[in-house]
């Protein structure tokens, strides 16, 4: 098999749709909002795609998405990609695929994660009247909340332009928020992200409310909603299960640097 670089959105989408929820982030990155930051590599046999990875390079730290039920084929593609990979990048990998890169990269695990998919929409039928829409005007207070309650969180302010951020206030203070990492009306997919509640207001179900409100609104324009969550975060997992999300895959996140 050979390594190829793909540029045809429809060809890429056809392959990704074989496992829509597993590839939710990649499908969202086909959107014009993200497309210019993407490079798509495939393992192909006689022009038929057998495996696919995405390199997303919006920030100084590129992200490589290597998710697959066929880990051995993923390893083969990563081996072929070795000369093209950045010296330093973040990665999402299925199984033990990272071992293929161990000869040339040092890697630090950032933990096992679950991919969860919204499979029971009926559970979203809760009172969400407390949740309010947020916009770019709320950037400063969102950053303040993340710095306090979710340090190290990846927050891209431009995502506020999607209109897919909701929060709850106590007085004038923003104390809980849910947003998106991926949103595409064209591809009808979304991935929740940037979810946190101020430590002083935890345990009151505020995170459940903002996630429910956001999901309700998203379902007006998308068909598939997912979320990534660390496997050692039982409270968050319980919240998402309560709202109708189901775990559909396990993967690990890594930081890799060339030796």
C-alpha distances out from residue 232 to 104, 236, 237, 243, Å: 29, 9, 9, 19
Residues 6 or more apart from 129 whose CB is under 8 A from it? none
DSSP string spanning 36-93? GGEEEEEEEETTEEEEEEEEE-SSSS-EEEE--S-HHHHHHHHHHHGGGS-SEEEEEE
CA-based torsion, 53, 183, 227, 247: positive or negative: negative
Please give the pLDDT value at position 153. Answer: 82
Please give the pLDDT value at position 58. Answer: 87
14: left (phi over 0), alpha (psi -120 to 50) or beta: alpha
| Residue among 69, 70, 64, 123 nearest 88 (CA) | 64
Please give the pLDDT value at position 22. Answer: 96
The DSSP symbol for 31 reads S
For the 120-243 domain, the top CATH level (class) is alpha beta
| pTM, rounded to two decimals | 0.94
Please give the pLDDT value at position 132. Answer: 97
Please give the pLDDT value at position 63. Answer: 96
The DSSP symbol for 223 reads S
Pinpoint the residues of the chain covered by CATH 3.40.630.30: 2-113+253-258, 120-243
The DSSP symbol for 123 reads G
Report the b/e string of 87-103 with b at 16+ CB within 10 A: eebbbbbbbebbebbee
Options 3.40.630.30, 3.20.20.140, 3.40.50.970, 3.30.420.40; which CATH number does 2-113+253-258 get? 3.40.630.30
Extract the runs of DSSP E, i.e. beta strands, from 82-188: 88-93, 105-118, 132-133, 166-170, 173-184
- Tokens 């396990």 map to which residue? 250
Please give the pLDDT value at position 5. Answer: 96
Q: How far is Cα 215 from Cα 202, in angstroms, rounded to an integer?
A: 20
**Could you read off the pLDDT tens digit of each residue along the chain, which spans 259 residues?**
899 999 999 999 999 999 999 999 999 999 999 999 999 999 998 889 999 999 999 888 999 999 999 999 999 999 999 999 999 999 999 999 999 999 999 999 999 999 999 999 999 999 999 999 999 999 999 999 999 999 888 888 889 999 999 999 999 999 999 999 999 999 999 999 999 999 999 999 999 999 999 999 999 999 999 999 999 999 999 999 999 999 999 999 999 999 9
- Looking from the CA of 139 toward its CB, the CA atoms found within 13 Å total 9
Q: State the angle between helix axes of 234-242 and 206-218 in degrees (0 to 180), rounded to the nearest 10.
A: 50
């Amino acid at each position: 098999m050979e390594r190829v670089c793909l540029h045809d959105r429809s060809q890429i989408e056809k392959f990704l749709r074989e496992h829509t929820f597993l590839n939710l982030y990649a499908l969202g990155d086909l959107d014009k909002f993200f497309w210019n930051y993407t490079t798509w590599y495939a393992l192909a046999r006689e022009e038929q795609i057998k495996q696919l990875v995405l390199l997303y390079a919006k920030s100084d730290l590129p992200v490589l998405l290597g998710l697959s039920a066929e880990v051995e084929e993923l390893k083969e593609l990563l081996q072929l990609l070795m000369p093209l990979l950045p010296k330093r990048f973040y990665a999402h990998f299925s199984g033990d695929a990272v071992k293929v890169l161990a000869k040339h990269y040092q890697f630090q695990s950032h933990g096992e994660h679950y991919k969860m998919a919204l499979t029971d929409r009926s559970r979203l039928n809760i009172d969400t009247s407390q949740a309010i829409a947020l916009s770019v005007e709320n950037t400063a207070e969102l950053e303040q909340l993340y710095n306090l309650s979710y340090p190290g969180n990846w927050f891209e302010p431009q995502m506020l332009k999607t209109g897919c951020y909701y929060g709850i206030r106590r007085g004038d203070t923003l104390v809980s928020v849910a947003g998106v990492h991926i949103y595409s009306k064209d591809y009808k997919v979304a991935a929740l992200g940037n979810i946190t509640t101020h430590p002083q207001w935890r345990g009151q179900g505020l995170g459940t409310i903002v996630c429910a409100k956001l999901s309700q609104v998203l379902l007006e324009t998308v068909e598939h909603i997912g979320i990534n969550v660390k496997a050692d975060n039982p409270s968050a997992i319980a919240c998402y299960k309560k709202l109708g999300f189901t775990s559909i895959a396990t993967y690990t996140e890594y930081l890799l640097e060339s030796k």
